[in-house]
């Protein structure tokens, strides 16, 4: 996938600080990267953009030595290198800072800055003054005045970011990769970080900047590279493009025939949410109707999953009301009580939240239905088997017997077990977080059909998805979240990716 249709946007004087050439990487036979190219000049801030799953993080892990590529090469300052591990990449001057800031909260600022370095010492005793002087020099480069003896965990988020950057510089990083560095920062703090990054650019450091916040990218970066489905689509000067163009390039093609016909939603309100607040959820209000599939979109971290978890009782909320079938729910909810009220959740992480991998299909299904397969606290093996057989037949779960261990099933069949478990509760509202993640295309289509059948029977299905075609294809109506709030609502019929993404990036039009 070369991009030679246009002139190379930057006049190449020095060899690139970091170059990835035709990188291919697959996991379990699935291609995560299919010949990716990335070239970053010294003294450049280069944005790496793409939707979730486009391959950005895999690429970063490869250029920092965490993964080794199946084929292709990495060049550092024009010379081909192979990083055996992260340490080797560090020594070559390539350092990545991840979202979860890589500082050690329980040791001092100075020690954090020099972490992994040879500390100034005599006979194994660390020389505190020399340590602080060297750490102070690094922070001074960033124009930061942070008390060196303070515990890093007591710093503000922006100071922690600075300490992490200072540490990267202490290892003489010439290529600095930042993954969503501003995610937890305020507007003024972001300015501060930008100033530091610009200063580093002047020093000739090459910076790769990964962010979902396109305004920031357009303000800060010199060039950008867009990835989609494991391929690099284009590299451009930021000055030569627009946010809208970037969004449509990130998205690519759209839906096909995976999705069943839409149904007809009724006007019966099943779920009413008013002014709901909680962790990552800000003042959310909406209604869901019997018979409809309500999609919820938004970027990762926009509060979609948290909204579902609050509705399912898996996470507390600070204010607002939830009304199911006309009955307002008590403020402090638990999953069991929400299930009793008719709200069931198929969680995001199937293997860690959905199924007991070492347990049989029938016992997994019974777990959420112990009340209906027992009498006076004693479970009936016969009823459990019956319930499981019914669920397996209804959802066409492919397994040898209801007693087969769930861990032995395919991802799609595991997901059906989670569904069977929750459907046996006959929910009025079914919440699904990423209903088809990690599932093959055939089973995906089956799940969409099931969702549609459930809706036809009067259930309100609320489904979160990161995949825009899926969101549009399976839903009747779509709510989009941005930083905890609902930033837009669109009818799925005729919706296009660009509208959804504009809302997801908080760009109201």
Partner 1 sequence: MTTQKESTTTTAVVVQQSKAAGRLLISGGTVVALILLILFFFLMRPDTFLSFVNVRNILYQISILAIIAGAQTIVMVLGDFDLSVGATSSLAGAVTSVLLLQENGLGVALLAGLAVGLIVGLVNGILIAYLKMSAFVATLATMTSVIGLGYLVTGGTTVFGMPAEFNQLGQGRFLNIPLPVYFAVAISVLIWAGLRFTTVGRRWYAIGGNVEVARLSGVNVRFARLLAFTLAGIISAIGGILLAARLGSAAAEQGGDNTLFSVAAVFLGMTVIRSGAANLVGTMIGVAIIGVMSNGLNILGVNAYVQQVVTGLIIIAAVTLSSLKTRET
List contacts with partner 1 (CB under 8 A): 312, 314, 334-336, 338-339, 345, 347, 352-359, 363, 366-368, 370-371, 374, 377-379, 400-401, 407, 421
Map tokens 């291919």 to a residue: 24
Please name every residue paired with 103 in a beta bridge, in sequence order, or none if there are none: none
User: Which residue, 147 or 381, is less far from partner 1 as judged by CB?
Assistant: 381
User: Which residue, 227 or 399, is less far from partner 1 as judged by CB?
Assistant: 399
How many helices (H) and strands (E) the chain has is answered by 16, 24
Least Cβ distance, residue 312 to partner 1 (angstroms): 7
Least Cβ distance, residue 334 to partner 1 (angstroms): 6
Backbone angles phi, psi at 81, to 5 degrees: -130, 155
Least Cβ distance, residue 291 to partner 1 (angstroms): 25
Q: Is 145 helix (H, G, I), strand (E, B) or coil?
A: coil
Least Cβ distance, residue 52 to partner 1 (angstroms): 22
Pinpoint the alpha helices (H) of 210-291. 214-220, 243-251
User: Which residue, 17 or 373, is less far from partner 1 as judged by CB?
Assistant: 373
Count CB atoms within 10 A of the CB of residue 391: 24
Q: Both tokens of residue 410? A: 């395919």
Least Cβ distance, residue 332 to partner 1 (angstroms): 13
Count CB atoms within 10 A of the CB of residue 494: 8
DSSP per residue, 362-414: HHHHHHTTGGGGEETTEE-HHHHHHHHHHHHHHHT---S-TTSBGGGS-HHHH
CB-hemisphere CA count at 13 Å for 260? 17
Least Cβ distance, residue 417 to partner 1 (angstroms): 11
User: Which residue, 16 or 427, is less far from partner 1 as judged by CB?
Assistant: 427
Q: Both tokens of residue 279? A: 């962790």
Decide: 364 and 416 in contact? Cβ < 8 Å: no
User: Which residue, 135 or 314, is less far from partner 1 as judged by CB?
Assistant: 314
User: Which residue, 115 or 368, is less far from partner 1 as judged by CB?
Assistant: 368
Least Cβ distance, residue 370 to partner 1 (angstroms): 4
User: Which residue, 355 or 479, is less far from partner 1 as judged by CB?
Assistant: 355
């Amino acid at each position: 996938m070369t991009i030679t249709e246009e002139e190379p946007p930057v006049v190449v004087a020095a060899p690139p600080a970091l170059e990835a050439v035709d990188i291919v990487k697959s996991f379990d036979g699935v291609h995560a990267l299919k010949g990716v190219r990335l070239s970053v000049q010294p003294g450049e801030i280069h944005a790496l953009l793409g939707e979730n799953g486009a391959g950005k993080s895999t690429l970063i892990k490869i250029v920092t030595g965490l993964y080794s590529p199946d084929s292709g090469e990495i060049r550092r300052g024009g010379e081909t290198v192979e990083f055996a591990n992260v340490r080797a990449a560090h020594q070559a001057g390539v350092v990545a800072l991840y979202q979860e800031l890589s500082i050690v909260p329980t040791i001092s600022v100075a020690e954090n800055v020099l972490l992994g370095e040879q500390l100034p010492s005599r006979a194994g005793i660390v020389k505190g003054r020399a340590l602080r002087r060297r750490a102070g020099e690094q922070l001074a480069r960033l124009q930061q005045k942070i008390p060196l003896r303070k515990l890093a965990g007591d710093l503000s988020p922006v100071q922690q970011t600075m300490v992490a950057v200072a540490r990267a510089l202490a290892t003489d990083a010439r290529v600095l990769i930042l993954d969503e560095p501003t995610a937890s920062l305020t507007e003024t703090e972001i300015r501060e970080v930008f100033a530091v990054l610009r200063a580093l650019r002047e020093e000739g450091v090459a910076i790769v900047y990964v962010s979902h916040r396109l305004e920031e990218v357009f303000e800060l970066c010199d060039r950008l590279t867009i990835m989609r489905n494991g391929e690099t689509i284009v590299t451009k000067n930021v000055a030569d493009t627009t946010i809208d163009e970037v969004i449509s390039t990130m998205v690519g093609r759209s839906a096909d025939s995976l999705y069943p016909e839409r149904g007809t939603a009724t006007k019966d309100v099943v779920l009413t949410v008013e002014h709901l607040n909680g962790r990552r959820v800000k003042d959310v209000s909406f209604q869901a109707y019997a018979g409809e599939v309500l999609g919820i979109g938004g970027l990762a971290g926009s509060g979609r999953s948290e909204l579902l978890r609050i509705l399912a009782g898996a996470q507390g909320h600070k204010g607002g009301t939830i009304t199911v079938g006309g009955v307002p729910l008590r403020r402090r909810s638990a999953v069991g009580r929400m299930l009793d009220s008719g709200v069931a959740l198929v969680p995001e992480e199937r293997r860690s939240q959905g199924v007991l991998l070492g347990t049989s299909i029938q016992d997994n299904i019974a777990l959420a239905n112990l009340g209906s397969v027992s009498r006076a606290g004693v479970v009936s093996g016969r009823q459990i088997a019956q319930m499981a057989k019914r669920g397996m037949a209804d959802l066409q779960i492919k397994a040898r017997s209801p007693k087969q261990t769930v861990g032995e099933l395919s991802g799609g069949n595991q997901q059906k077990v989670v569904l069977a478990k929750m459907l046996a509760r006959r929910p009025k509202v079914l919440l699904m977080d990423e209903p088809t993640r990690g599932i093959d295309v055939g089973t995906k289509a089956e799940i969409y059909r099931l969702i549609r059948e459930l809706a036809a029977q009067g259930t309100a299905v609320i489904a979160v998805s990161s995949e825009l075609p899926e969101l549009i294809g399976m839903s009747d109506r779509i709510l989009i979240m941005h930083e905890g709030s609902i930033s837009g609502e669109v009818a799925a019929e005729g919706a296009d990716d660009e509208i959804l993404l504009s809302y997801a990036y908080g760009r109201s039009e």
